[in-house]
Amino acid sequence: MARPIVALLTDFGTRDHYAGTMKGVVLGLAPDASLVDITHDVPPHDVLTASLELAASYKYFPPGTIFLVVVDPGVGSARRGLVAEVGDYRFVAPDNGVLTAVFHDHKPKRVVELTERRYARPTVSKTFEGRDRFAPAAAWLARGTEPTAMGRPVTTWQTIDLPEPQVESSQIRGEVVLVDRFGNLVSNIDRRTFDQFRHEGAVRIAVDGHSVERLVATYAEAPAGSVCALFGSSEHLELAVNGGSAAEVLHLGRGAAVRIDRG
């Protein structure tokens, strides 16, 4: 049988021991687990970014993968811990909306509140539930424990507002929601929304008032150094610079307005 995969997404960074310590806890309970980092560099407490990064990546993992998601500004408070089943995947996370974008993709089959203390460490720190509650829960899932053994099913949970594009008859009003390492400005306008709006007619694309001349299929199609638009790997419209950083060239970041107009 294949080793269970536990994929981690946190805001713990890699400078401190926190992510490594969680892995030690997982391996203590599930020695055969295969641990994969999605990222630990979500900006501190940035639940929205975590949610979007998770939604962009989870479906490329094999069925059965367990996602251990710890971006948890409410650590130690009364906010709940959850296990969610979505398709063939399971997610362990605080109940703070970090799973919103995944649930937006696919309705969860079941969501369970983590209440059974035997699946946590004997002492649970009020500042590091990732170590003492969420990592053990993921490890028990990896060992084959059913989510329903770990607590009671719930039917409501926290959600966050995902920035959705506003589609009007003559315009799509979107915004930049992620800036990646290359300085690509990734918007919330997905390809389907764009294609339905365009109907094969001509459109004009602008970011923060700057007109974008080219809609291309990939970076290399644009002249070096020029700003272009394209659909990136998550099928969302992004602004990019071939061989450079659109964020630096345009001095723009998250929240910048992206407009699609007919024309």
Residue numbers at the binding site for its own copies (CB under 8 A): 2-3, 5, 7, 9, 11-21, 23-25, 27-28, 31-32, 34-41, 44-45, 53-54, 56-58, 60-62, 65, 73-77, 125-128, 131, 178, 180-183, 217-221, 230-233, 243, 245
Taking the complex as a whole, the smallest distance from the CB of residue 143 to its own copies amounts, in Å, to 13
Taking the complex as a whole, the smallest distance from the CB of residue 153 to its own copies amounts, in Å, to 26
**Which tokens belong to 43?**
């900006």
CA–CA gap between residue 222 and residue 133 (Å, rounded): 48
- Token look-up 């644009």 returns 222
Taking the complex as a whole, the smallest distance from the CB of residue 32 to its own copies amounts, in Å, to 7
Residue closer to its own copies by CB (options 167, 249) is: 249
| Helices within 144-229 (DSSP H only) | 191-198
Residue closer to its own copies by CB (options 17, 152) is: 17
Residue closer to its own copies by CB (options 209, 220) is: 220
- Token look-up 């997905």 returns 190
Taking the complex as a whole, the smallest distance from the CB of residue 78 to its own copies amounts, in Å, to 9
CB contact at 8 A, 246 and 227: yes
Residue closer to its own copies by CB (options 166, 235) is: 235
Residue closer to its own copies by CB (options 20, 153) is: 20
Residue closer to its own copies by CB (options 159, 182) is: 182
Q: How far is CA 124 from each of CA 19, 28, 194, rounded to the nearest angstrom?
A: 16, 16, 47
Give the length of the chain: 263
Taking the complex as a whole, the smallest distance from the CB of residue 46 to its own copies amounts, in Å, to 11
Sequence-distant (6+) residues with CB within 8 A of 157 are 80, 82, 95, 97, 99, 111
Taking the complex as a whole, the smallest distance from the CB of residue 38 to its own copies amounts, in Å, to 4
In angstroms, the first-to-last Cα distance of the chain is 56
Q: Angle at which helices 135-143 and 18-29 pack, to 10 degrees?
A: 30
Nearest by Cα to 126 from 194, 192, 170, 72:
72
